[in-house]
């Protein structure tokens, strides 16, 4: 059951300090694997690149022919032909570059589509521990901003890189053929350029990793601020939050400026070595022309080839920034894709049959943090068809018990069984398919009331949606809205009251028709009238269902078949409401705290 989470709650990772070797080639190979199905486009790109390289050779050759043949022979009539040929080659180059750019963009967009969908699907498989330890803004930044950076690489820079590599080697071989001495002198500058490019590339990648981490920090701060705007304004902390956001923004600016300094320095260094090569060609080439070993046309053509040879190097010094930025983004993306869920289906996992007997916790131990145990040697039974209430102080572990039952987490020790089946031996889908949950912290999607209720079972009819709403006593207030079930709830249900959101959530849970219903403080935020309506509905709907109610307000669980008092992660006592009051234990203490008048009367008696 072991898994790993490679990046921490702060969003930083070890990779930011030491980028993995070979990650650029790994990135390019991964991107290629995602576009293998677009083989027609790949063939088209290869053919167009080959044609572009050939045309790049043709133009200098025509220039040389003009200088060495036409000018000395005063062949005026062929100048128009040469001009039209060069113009035709230039137009053809433009057309080929257009189609090349378009085809690369097509396969690049498909690669990004596949990668982003893969990331999202993978994130859906990760367990709650991953989301507990990592910030929402950082995860969003990796799925959006980092993938967009890869999109820039694939859509533009990758084309330039491959085209330049082909052009560079083709021209270098040809230049060696026509004048190997001059070419060797020229190529002596390239090891220095490669050294500086590699050295700066590593620094640029580290700087871009810092930039992308700072972007994630800004995203987190923004996400937290927008989500908590009501709290911020209610405490008049706008200036404080603006200062915090400004600080994160300033860190992002500083990181960007550092990367800009590195990129700005690399370009002039490459240009310096290119100019040294140009000087060598001019001096040595002129010497060879003067001694009769080279023609004027040949030296002009050679300098044109020199420009073509140096252009890939100059371009790569600029592209290296995009490549290294993409490599840093790819590392952050890979960290998510390599994260393994702790909660997953075994290979031999079976479908959980419908509930027949009940649920049992056996010697269960659990902790979110290794040093802070939450559940300690928990043993309890929840019979089928009964309403079981979990009561106790805040932080006693009641909600954790519900999370363990849904298998958001696994026990550290012990096991949880349904009809004798260990939850780790059944599929998650079959387990969670039998459970309906309504928690205190209700989440509604930004959409219509109809959509939010139907989320419990997306294939149901409008009549079934309405029946579920009526069962939760939600139909009346829904129809009071001008658009009824088609009314928008706003982000996280902001347009609804707390009680209305609770009833929508209960409708959603009931629409699943689950074998097991978990109500985790489901009536805690309701007014008295709403609570009465829901209690009335539940008193009928929960008959013959296995129901687990977690409540602080003991008035809501008096009619439970059994009440289990949880204290310090263990069962303190259990029984019915009257039995627990007679026992005079922890339950009675909690009851008297909530109903002091009744406690005084009993003490007088």
What would the 3-class secondary structure string for 76-132 be?
HHHHHHHHHHHHHHHHHHHHHHHHHHHHHHHHHHHHHHHHHHHHHHHHHHCCHHHHH
DSSP 446: S
DSSP lists the bridge partners of residue 416 as 361
Task: Give the pLDDT mean for 41-70.
Answer: 76
CATH of the domain at 464: 3.40.50.300
Measured in whole angstroms, the distance separating CA 141 from the mean position of its chain's CA atoms is: 7
State how far the Cα of 458 lies from the Cα of 469, in Å rounded to an integer: 15
Pairing of the two strands 358-366 and 413-418: antiparallel
Q: Give the end of a domain, one of 513, 537, 562.
A: 513
pLDDT at residue 537, rounded to an integer: 61
How far apart are the C-alpha atoms of 552 and 561, rounded to whole Å?
Answer: 17
Residue 554: CB atoms within 10 A of its CB come to 19
pLDDT at 138: 81
Task: For residue 125, give the nearest of 318, 342, 401 by alpha carbon.
Answer: 342
Q: Tens digit of pLDDT for each residue in 483-536?
A: 888 888 877 777 787 778 888 888 888 887 788 888 887 665 556 666 666 666
**532 domain-assigned:** no
Domain tally, the chain: 3
Minimal CA–CA distance to 574: which of 390, 372, 322, 396?
390
CATH number at residue 30: 1.20.1560.10
284 within a domain of the structure (yes/no): yes
Tell me, yes or no, whether 495 and 576 share the same domain.
Answer: no
**Residue 16 predicted with pLDDT over 70:** no
Same domain? For 483 and 588 the reply is: no
Average pLDDT estimate for 312-316: 69
Of 115-119, 305-309, 540-544, minimum mean pLDDT range: 540-544
Q: Is 264 found in the same domain as 127?
A: yes
Indicate whether 133 pLDDT > 80: yes
> For the chain, what is the mean pLDDT?
78
Q: Which of 175-184, 206-215, 342-351, 509-518 has the highest mean pLDDT?
A: 342-351
The highest-confidence range among 249-258, 320-329, 442-451, 479-488, by mean pLDDT, is 479-488
Q: Which domain holds residue 504?
A: 438-513
- Mean pLDDT for the stretch of residues 132-157: 76
**530 is a domain residue:** no
Residues 390 and 451 in one domain: no
Task: Let me know: does 548 contact 517? Beta carbons within 8 Å.
Answer: yes
184-198, 272-286, 405-419, 503-517 — most confident range:
405-419
What's the chain's Rg over C-alpha atoms?
Answer: 35
The answer to whether the CB of 110 falls within 8 A of the CB of 38 is: yes
The single residue listed with the structure tokens 């001694």 is 291
Helix (H) / strand (E) containing 323: helix 296-337
5 found inside a domain: no
Structural domain ending residue among the three candidates 311, 337, 363: 337
Report how far residue 321's alpha carbon sits from residue 318's, in angstroms, rounded to the nearest whole number.
Answer: 6
- Give domain status of residue 536, yes or no: no
pLDDT confidence bin for 467, thresholds 50/70/90: confident
Integer Cα distance of 70 and 479 in angstroms: 90
DSSP string, 477-497: HHHTSTTGGG-B--GGGTTS-
Q: State whether 260 and 198 are in the same domain.
A: yes
Tell whether 539 is covered by a domain: no
**Is the predicted pLDDT of residue 7 greater than 60, yes or no?**
no
Of 309, 337, 365, the domain-final residue: 337
Same domain? For 327 and 354 the reply is no
Q: pTM to 2 decimals? A: 0.70
> In terms of DSSP H, where are the helices of 338-427?
398-406
Q: In whole angstroms, what is the distance from residue 515 CA to residue 511 CA? A: 12
pLDDT at residue 10, as a whole number: 43
Q: Quick one: 481 and 415 in the same domain?
A: no
Q: Are residues 476 and 453 in the same domain?
A: yes
Kindly state whether residues 249 and 297 are assigned to the same domain: yes
Question: Rounded CA gap, 16 and 328, in Å?
Answer: 8
Q: Do 421 and 446 reside in the same domain of the chain?
A: no
| Structural domain contains residue 7 | no
- Residue 160 within any structural domain of the chain: yes
The rounded distance, in Å, linking the Cα atoms of 195 and 181 is 23
My answer on whether 212 and 274 are in the same domain is: yes
351 shares its domain with 211: no
């Amino acid at each position: 059951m072991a898994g790993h989470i490679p990046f921490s709650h702060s969003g930083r990772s070890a990779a930011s300090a030491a980028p993995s070797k070979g990650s650029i080639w790994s990135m390019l190979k991964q991107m290629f694997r995602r576009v293998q199905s677009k083989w027609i486009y790949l063939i088209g790109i290869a053919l167009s690149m080959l044609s572009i390289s050939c045309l790049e050779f043709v133009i200098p050759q025509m220039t040389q022919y003009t200088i060495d043949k036409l000018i000395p022979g005063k062949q005026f009539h062929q100048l128009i032909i040469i001009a039209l040929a060069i113009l035709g080659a230039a137009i053809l180059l433009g057309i080929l570059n257009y189609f090349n750019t378009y085809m690369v963009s097509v396969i690049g967009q498909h690669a990004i589509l596949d990668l982003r969908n893969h990331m999202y699907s993978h994130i859906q498989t990760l367990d709650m521990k991953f989301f507990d330890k990592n910030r929402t803004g950082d995860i969003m930044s990796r799925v959006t901003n980092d993938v967009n950076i890869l999109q820039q690489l694939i859509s533009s820079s990758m084309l330039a890189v491959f085209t330049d590599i082909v052009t560079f080697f083709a021209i270098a071989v040809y230049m060696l053929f026509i004048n190997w001495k001059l070419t060797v002198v020229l190529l002596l500058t390239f090891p220095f350029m490669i050294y500086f490019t590699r050295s700066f590339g590593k620094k640029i990648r580290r700087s871009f990793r810092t930039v992308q981490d700072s972007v994630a920090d800004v995203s987190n701060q923004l996400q937290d601020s927008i989500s908590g705007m009501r709290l911020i304004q209610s405490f008049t902390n706008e200036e404080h939050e603006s200062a915090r956001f400004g600080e994160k923004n300033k860190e992002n600016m500083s990181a960007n400026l550092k990367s800009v300094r590195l990129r700005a320095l690399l370009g002039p260094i490459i240009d310096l070595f290119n100019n040294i090569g140009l000087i060598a060609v001019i001096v040595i080439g002129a010497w060879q022309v003067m001694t009769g070993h080279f023609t004027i046309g040949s030296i002009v053509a050679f300098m044109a080839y020199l420009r073509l040879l140096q252009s890939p190097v100059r371009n790569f010094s600029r592209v290296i920034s995009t490549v290294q930025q993409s490599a840093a983004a790819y590392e952050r993306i890979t960290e998510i894709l390599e994260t393994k869920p702790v909660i997953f289906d075994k290979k031999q996992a079976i479908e959980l049959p419908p509930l027949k007997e009940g649920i049992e916790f056996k010697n269960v131990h659990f902790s979110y943090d290794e040093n802070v145990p939450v559940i300690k040697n928990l043993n309890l039974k929840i019979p089928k068809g009964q309403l079981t209430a979990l009561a106790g102080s805040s932080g006693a572990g009641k909600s954790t018990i519900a999370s363990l039952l849904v298998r958001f987490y696994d026990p550290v020790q012990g096991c949880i069984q349904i009809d004798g089946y260990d939850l780790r031996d059944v599929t998650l889908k079959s387990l969670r398919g039998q459970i309906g949950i309504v928690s205190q912290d209700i989440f509604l999607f930004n959409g219509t009331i109809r959509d939010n209720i139907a989320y419990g079972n997306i294939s149901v009819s409008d009549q079934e949606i309405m029946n579920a709403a009526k069962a939760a006593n939600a139909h009346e207030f829904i129809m009071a809205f001008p658009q009824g079930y088609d009314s928008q709830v706003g982000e996280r249900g902001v347009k609804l009251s707390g009680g209305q959101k609770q009833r929508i959530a209960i409708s959603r849970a009931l629409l699943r028709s689950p074998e097991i219903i978990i109500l985790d403080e489901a009536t805690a935020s309701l007014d008295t009238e709403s609570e009465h309506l829901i209690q009335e509905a539940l008193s009928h709907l929960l008959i013959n269902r296995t129901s687990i109610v977690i409540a602080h307000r003991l008035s809501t669980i008096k009619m439970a078949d059994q009440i289990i008092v949880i204290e310090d992660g263990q069962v303190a006592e259990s029984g019915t409401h009257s039995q627990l009051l007679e026992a005079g234990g922890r339950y009675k203490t909690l009851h008297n705290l909530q109903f002091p008048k009744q406690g005084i009367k009993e003490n007088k008696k």
